[in-house]
Structure 1
């Protein structure tokens, strides 16, 4: 029996789901939920921002994130599927309302 721990979804997807559920989540909160370091979350959030999937705004001393749910997924196998559709499968309470 294998002791390796793997999942079907990437950490980028996990971070995206966390921020879709709670746009005001801290990097620490997201890191704990995903099971990665805060630094890894910061790098992933940067990737998602650069690619146009997230935008960041200041909310007092913290950041809040807006999701661009209309953006298409990046891999050719998912061509024609957008973030909203993915989120609606992973978390039905989040997907339809995402912007």
Structure 2
């Protein structure tokens, strides 16, 4: 398998949450192939960047993707997170 992919780990985390916003950090880490610590960092960055909303549900966190947010790079800024997810997620 190739050592690089077209999407970043940030995008992979969003794809996982698109499938199930209640996934645990452990489940996301397993699916993406990164550490739980990396997932926690990415989730924090996505919340801080305005791409996710975080909700506390008992002892667990759940997340809501803010689909209307534009992609960050100038080449893709005319498109939203929702556009990306609609094109790559199941």
Q: Give the unaligned 5+ runs of structure 2.
A: none
SS of structure 1 residue aligned to 2:70: coil
SS of structure 1 residue aligned to 2:56: strand
Query: Is the counterpart of residue 48 in structure 1 residue 46 in structure 2?
Result: yes
Aligned length: 90
Q: Distance in 2 between matches of 1:4 and 1:83?
A: 25
Q: Relative CO higher for 1 or 2, CA cutoff 8 Å, sep ≥ 6? A: 2
- TM-align CA RMSD: 1.2
Larger radius of gyration: 1
Match of 1:6 in 2: 4
| Structure 1 segments (4+ residues) deviating >3 Å | none
Per the TM alignment, residue 59 of structure 1 is displaced from its structure 2 partner at its CA by: 1.2
Q: Distance in 2 between matches of 1:6 and 1:76?
A: 22
* TM-score normalised by structure 2 residue count: 0.95
